[in-house]
Each structure stands twice: as C-alpha cells, then as structure tokens.
Structure 1
C-alpha cells in the first residue's frame, strides 16, 4: 500500500507501527520525531491498517468534521497543509486548541458540522480531502452538505457509526441506507467494516459526483 511521505511505518519497542512526524498528543510513543498512530483510537488510522486508501496526501488542504480532542486531527495536520477542524462540543474543543498550539496549520472551529454555512466564510473552497467522524444521525447527509468545499477530484474519507444512526437496527442495514444516501452526492470508491479496531463502524472512501 502506497503511503504519503508524511505517513510511515516505524519501529516502536520492536513493533512496526503506523506513524506521523510531530509532537505527542495522547500519550503515544515517539521515536526520532515520529509518533505512533494508534488505529484503535483513530478511524482514519484503522483505514490505513486495513489497506484502504483514504486519500490523505502531503500538503493537502483538509476539512475535518468531528475533530473531538484532536487525536486523529493532529496526525492529519502532521501530514497535510491547512487543516480546518470542526468540533461541536466545548469540552473537547479545549483539548483541540491545545493541540493546535504546536501545529500552526491546524485551525479549530467550534461549529456544528450539520450547518456548513456557519463556517463557509472561514473554510476555503476547492479542498483536497474531507475527513468525517461525527456521531450523529444523518451522517451521509452531513457529508453531502459539506461536499461544497471539495474540488471535483477531491476525496471524502468517512467513518459511519451505526449506533449513532439507529441503535435498534442491524449495522449492515444502517450502512446500506447510509451508502444509498451518500450516493446522491458521491461516487463510492471503497467501503469496509473497521473491525477489529472499531466495532459497528463502516469506513467509506468516495469522490464527489
């Protein structure tokens, strides 16, 4: 699997692990400036571990929806160019702001990913990558609403959490409906369950249509 230059497999305590170059954020080991990327704490990291091609490339312009405390957003910012990180909750935003202090290209936005019009004046158009990990109903609709920021050849890297959509239904049924909804705005390039790293999650890589 081809990786961007900013994402490599490095040795930590005798084990080859995915890594990016940057300062530690969540207690992960760092060796020679490279920090381990824990796939059990990162949907995007799990996608790499499972052989997917999320589309993250060096110096990409990125919109990250559902940045939370900055665990994954920090790894993205280690690799990418301008990284706009949207988070709705105030408590994790405080942690995200601390992460941004050591990453000048990471721009935290205390906004609701379901309302892209509230941050459209800040986020530039023609972005290379949209990363989405939001725990809400209508995750495909959120991705479609934020499609406006991607250029025609851009990529969506989406983690769909079944239990956030409907905890009473079988995850596979939830995923099927979400993919049907997503196809109204995207061409799906790849989709895979994130087991064993994240239960009841489906990873999707897509491009605007």
Structure 2
C-alpha cells in the first residue's frame, strides 16, 4: 500500500510512525517539521497504518464529515487539496477553526452532516468523502452526501458499531450498515480497526 504524497513514516523518539508536515494541533510529537499522526486518535490514520488501499495520493479535494476538533482533518489538509470539514458541535468547532488558521485549504463548516442541503451551496464536487460520525444512521449520512462525490471518487468511512447500536453484536451491526451503503456504493474493502479502535470497521467504497 502506497502512502499519499505528503505522508511519510518518520521516527519519533525511537518509534516509527505516520507523519505529515504542518503546524501541530493536538500536542502530537513534532520533529523537523513532521508531526506524528497517531492512529489511535484517528480512524483514517489507523486505516493507513493497517494497510488499507485508501486511493489517496495527495492533492485531492476532500469533504470530511465529523471533523470534531480537527485531529484527523488537520493531517488530511496537510497533504490534500481543498478540504471541507463539517462539524455540528460549537465547542470542538472552536478548536477546528484554530487548526484552520495555519491551513488555508481547510474550510470549517458548522453544519450537521445529516443535512447536506445546509452546505450544498458551499461544497464543490470532491474526490474523497471521508466520514467519521458518531450517530445512528451512519449509512444514511454517507448516502445523503453521495451527491458531492465525483463518479470516480471514493468513500472512506469508519463505522462505529456502538454509535449505531450500543447493545448489538458489532459484526451484525457492520453488516446492516454495509447493506444500506450498497444502495449507493460498491464496497471495495473492509477492515476491522483493532488494535487502534475497538468495534470499528474501516470501509472503502465507490459510487455504484
């Protein structure tokens, strides 16, 4: 699996891990301008570290759903092109705005990913739809935001079993979400994100 241009494995205090070049955001280690990308704090980071074929090469236009305080999306903006970051909670949005101050290609949007009409006038067609939302109806969010994804683009998604159904068997929850996704997407690859994230499934899909 080839890492995107702008993402490298660097050594930090004797430990080798993913890194991007940019201003630090969440107290991560920094060496010679490279900031450590902690896969235990990032679903996309764990997907890359586990060798999933994300299709990322660098420079893509990205729509990121569930940006929170900017931990992952700041790394994405370090190597991607225009990066639209949707977050609905005001408190993490303040941190996200601070992360964007050092990244002119990162555009924070205080919006609800379940309501893409509210930002359809802002977001251009994108190459990559990245989704990391903690809510029921995760497949519905991905389907609703399919409108922004180019026909040859990719969905990179982390399904959170406990957000979908806190008592359900994770494997059954994953399969239910994947069945819903198949209404609009062709599933290319799935991988459990352990040991970094319990009861999470990384998904790579393309528009059907």
Quickly name the TM-score band, shorter chain normalised.
over 0.9
Paired position in structure 1 for 2:99: 99
Structure 1's consecutive aligned runs of 4 or more residues displaced over 4 angstroms after TM superposition are none
Question: How far is 1:40 from its partner?
Answer: 0.4
Tell me, in whole angstroms, the C-alpha distance in 2 between the residues paired with 1:168 and 1:5: 40
Tell me, in whole angstroms, the C-alpha distance in 2 between the residues paired with 1:78 and 1:44: 14
Secondary structure at the aligned position of 1:128 is classed as strand
Superposition pairs for residues 123-134 of structure 1, below 5 Å?
A: 123-125=123-125, 127-134=126-133
Deviations 1:81-101 (A, max 9, x none): 100000010000000000000
Secondary structure at the aligned position of 2:41 is classed as coil
Tell me, in whole angstroms, the C-alpha distance in 1 between the residues paired with 2:128 and 2:65: 11
Q: Is the Cα contact below 8 Å between 1:137 and 1:165 reproduced in 2?
A: yes
Q: How many residues align?
A: 208
Tell me, in whole angstroms, the C-alpha distance in 2 between the residues paired with 1:46 and 1:4: 14
Superposition pairs for residues 28-47 of structure 1, below 5 Å?
A: 28-47=28-47
Tell me, in whole angstroms, the C-alpha distance in 2 between the residues paired with 1:72 and 1:55: 17
Paired position in structure 2 for 1:20: 20
Paired position in structure 2 for 1:190: 189
Runs of 5+ unmatched residues, structure 2: none
Paired position in structure 2 for 1:143: 142
Paired position in structure 1 for 2:62: 62
Question: How far is 1:107 from its partner?
Answer: 0.2
Question: How far is 1:56 from its partner?
Answer: 2.4
Q: Is the Cα contact below 8 Å between 1:188 and 1:206 reproduced in 2?
A: yes
Paired position in structure 1 for 2:8: 8
Paired position in structure 2 for 1:81: 81
Tell me, in whole angstroms, the C-alpha distance in 2 between the residues paired with 1:151 and 1:5: 21
Tell me, in whole angstroms, the C-alpha distance in 2 between the residues paired with 1:161 and 1:4: 25
Paired position in structure 2 for 1:72: 72
Question: How far is 1:55 from its partner?
Answer: 2.4
Tell me, in whole angstroms, the C-alpha distance in 2 between the residues paired with 1:141 and 1:6: 32
Tell me, in whole angstroms, the C-alpha distance in 2 between the residues paired with 1:156 and 1:96: 22
Question: How far is 1:57 from its partner?
Answer: 2.5
Question: How far is 1:166 from its partner?
Answer: 0.7
Question: How far is 1:61 from its partner?
Answer: 0.3
Deviations 1:132-177 (A, max 9, x none): 0000111011001101101111010000100111111101110000
Q: Is the Cα contact below 8 Å between 1:55 and 1:157 reproduced in 2?
A: no
Runs of 5+ unmatched residues, structure 1: none
